[in-house]
């Protein structure tokens, strides 16, 4: 019987030519292992340890799991893996016997032992009108159960049909809902009805205990804190900020990516520069999995994640400029880290109250990452930054497309500063520094060379398009403060910036020469500008000297 159902299931997949066809054939019940087979046919990174975590909570009070994660961080791949493992119409041992889960004591206990309900809510939305989503979902579940078990054939509600089926089969369901929050994000007009549907399934402890061995839901944003999503308040929640024991399944680890790079003859250092940088829970060096696999496939390091609909979200929120948000964005693009309060965020896109809410949202969307957590009298704070080159490109594009006048002006003035620097127009460069010092983008702690370094990075912020920036670069017999190295195919000169506080710009140039700073760029082969920048506390004035040298 099991083999017959398996063959029928594979036939359904072969015939399915569209989402509509898949919906018509009722693959919402026991969807099979074809999805995971396709994944395993590629260069699969073993994340089956997640299965052991779920097995450990089956039929316990912790069996309701909700995972929120940024786009392109493997949520749907995990869902396909779980379907293949739990679906009792499959014989998926060959897919798992050589993976991590096979060494766990729970492996055989739950392998292909359950009826699986699989709902991809993004697909459900695409297959129905918004106002018909709930009815379509309920009918799809009921129809799928009747096709699987024709003997359970009476006209009933979803819960009644599930109950009758469970009594007939003698075992509970595993429910997997991918992108559970898609209806809330894309069709807020049906929020009340949708949450009532979830409440019907999962809120009643009697129904939940009786029917479901485990429920695994994925989404982009965490459950709202304001209580409006109380229908799922019983779920154990794992987020980008608090991933708990699911941290290592959020993305690829350093060890996993090193293995991929070795097998595909790719530079790990470049891979890390482009796609690393996420700190998830206590784990550092988490990589964006989609982008890593795209780089492996195309053998090119570039931005792949940016080709998602999340890109427009960034400009929308930055253009709000709440509480000086844009000044903080400028600091982040310049390579700085900033502190934010994350506890006040209600996980509600319609109720963003201040810049901390927006910056916390950007953490959940994958644009920022949290470095550390500290305690203050007002609650916990997090140190956040832009994680890697891929995301930094998103922010660069945002700078160029910004609609806010002050931000546009900053970029235009930075462009002019670069032109004046290349021309050696020292007075114009010094004047630009004076103007920026009086702006909202200057640091409030302007009292040492560290502040002056930050100031320089903001002044040359438009250089992020054309230069790679290195701070405190070992050069010759010393360390240069800021070095700008042109990116490939650029005709611009390299720039070595030496900073002096209460000393002259001439002193800065002399130090760069005496300590042979240009030696660090001996393989560059083009023009190098030595730029000395000084600030005098007594006069409150900047000065600049520029000299051109060749290696």
* Residue pLDDT, tens place only, 233-258: 789 999 998 899 999 999 999 999 99
Q: How confident is the prediction for the chain on average, in pLDDT? A: 84
More confident residue, 65 or 437: 65
Token pair recorded at residue 461: 């912020």
8-state DSSP, 114: B
* pLDDT at residue 311 in the model: 55
**Which residue, among 122, 125, 157, 164, has the nearest Cα to 141 in the 3D structure?**
157
The C-alpha atoms of residue 82 and residue 220 are separated, in whole angstroms, by 19
**Per DSSP, what are the bridge partners of residue 204?**
none
The C-alpha atoms of residue 333 and residue 527 are separated, in whole angstroms, by 26
The C-alpha atoms of residue 85 and residue 256 are separated, in whole angstroms, by 22
* Residue pLDDT, tens place only, 46-71: 999 999 999 999 999 899 999 999 88
Residue 510: pLDDT above 90?
A: yes
First to last CA, the chain: 77
Kindly indicate the confidence band of residue 204, based on its pLDDT and cuts at 50, 70 and 90: low
* pLDDT at residue 5 in the model: 45
Domains and CATH numbers, the chain: 2-238 (3.40.50), 249-298 (no CATH), 311-394 (1.10.10), 411-550 (3.40.1350)
8-state DSSP, 493: P
Strands 467-475, 478-486: pairing kind: antiparallel
Residue 422: pLDDT above 70?
A: yes
């Amino acid at each position: 019987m099991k083999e017959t159902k398996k063959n029928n299931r594979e036939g359904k997949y072969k015939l399915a030519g569209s989402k509509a066809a898949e919906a018509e054939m009722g693959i919402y019940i026991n969807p099979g292992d074809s999805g995971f087979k396709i994944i395993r046919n590629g260069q699969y990174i073993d994340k089956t340890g997640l299965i052991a975590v779920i097995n450990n909570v089956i039929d316990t009070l912790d069996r309701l799991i909700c995972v929120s994660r940024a786009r392109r961080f493997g949520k749907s791949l995990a869902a396909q893996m779980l379907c293949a493992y739990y679906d009792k119409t499959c014989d998926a041992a060959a897919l798992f016997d050589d993976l991590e889960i096979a060494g766990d004591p729970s492996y055989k206990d739950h392998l292909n032992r359950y009826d699986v309900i699989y709902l991809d809510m993004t697909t459900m939305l695409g297959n129905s009108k918004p106002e018909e989503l709930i009815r379509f979902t309920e009918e799809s579940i009921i129809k799928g159960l009747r096709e699987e078990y024709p003997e359970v054939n009476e006209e009933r509600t979803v819960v009644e049909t599930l109950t009758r089926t469970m009594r007939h089969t003698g075992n509970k369901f595993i429910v997997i809902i991918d992108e559970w929050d898609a209806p809330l994000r894309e069709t807020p007009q049906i929020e009340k009805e949708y949450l009532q549907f979830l409440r019907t399934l999962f809120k009643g402890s009697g129904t939940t205990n009786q029917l479901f061995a485990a429920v695994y839901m994925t989404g982009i944003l965490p459950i709202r804190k304001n209580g409006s999503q109380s229908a799922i308040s019983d779920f154990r929640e794992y987020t980008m900020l608090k991933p708990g024991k699911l941290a290592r399944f959020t993305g690829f680890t350093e060890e996993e990516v090193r293995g991929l790079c070795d097998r595909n003859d790719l530079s790990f250092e470049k891979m890390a520069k482009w796609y690393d940088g996420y700190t998830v829970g206590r784990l550092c060096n988490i990589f964006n999995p989609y982008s890593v696999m795209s780089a492996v496939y195309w053998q090119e390091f570039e931005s792949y994640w940016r080709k998602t609909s999340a890109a427009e979200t960034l400009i929308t929120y930055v253009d709000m400029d709440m509480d000086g948000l844009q000044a903080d964005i400028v600091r982040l693009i310049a390579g700085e880290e900033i502190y934010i309060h994350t506890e006040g965020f209600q996980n509600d896109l319609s109720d963003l109250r201040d810049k901390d809410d927006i910056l916390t949202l950007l953490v959940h969307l994958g644009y920022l990452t949290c470095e550390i957590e500290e305690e203050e009298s007002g609650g916990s704070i997090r140190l956040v930054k832009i994680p890697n080159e891929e995301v930094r490109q998103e922010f660069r594009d945002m700078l160029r497309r910004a609609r806010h006048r002050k931000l546009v002006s900053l970029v235009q003035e930075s462009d002019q500063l670069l032109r004046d620097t290349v021309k050696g127009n020292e007075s114009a460069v010094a004047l630009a520094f004076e103007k920026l010092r009086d702006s909202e983008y200057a640091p409030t702690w302007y009292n040492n060379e560290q502040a002056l370094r930050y100031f320089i990075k903001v002044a040359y912020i438009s250089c992020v398009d054309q230069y790679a920036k290195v701070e405190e670069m070992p050069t010759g017999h010393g360390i240069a403060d800021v070095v700008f190295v042109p990116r490939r195919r650029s005709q611009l000169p390299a720039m070595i910036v030496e900073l002096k506080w209460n000393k002259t710009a001439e002193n800065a140039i002399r130090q760069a020469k005496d300590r042979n700073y240009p030696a660090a760029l001996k393989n560059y082969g083009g023009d190098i500008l030595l730029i000395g920048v000084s600030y005098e506390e007594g006069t409150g004035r900047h000065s600049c000297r520029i000299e051109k040298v060749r290696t």
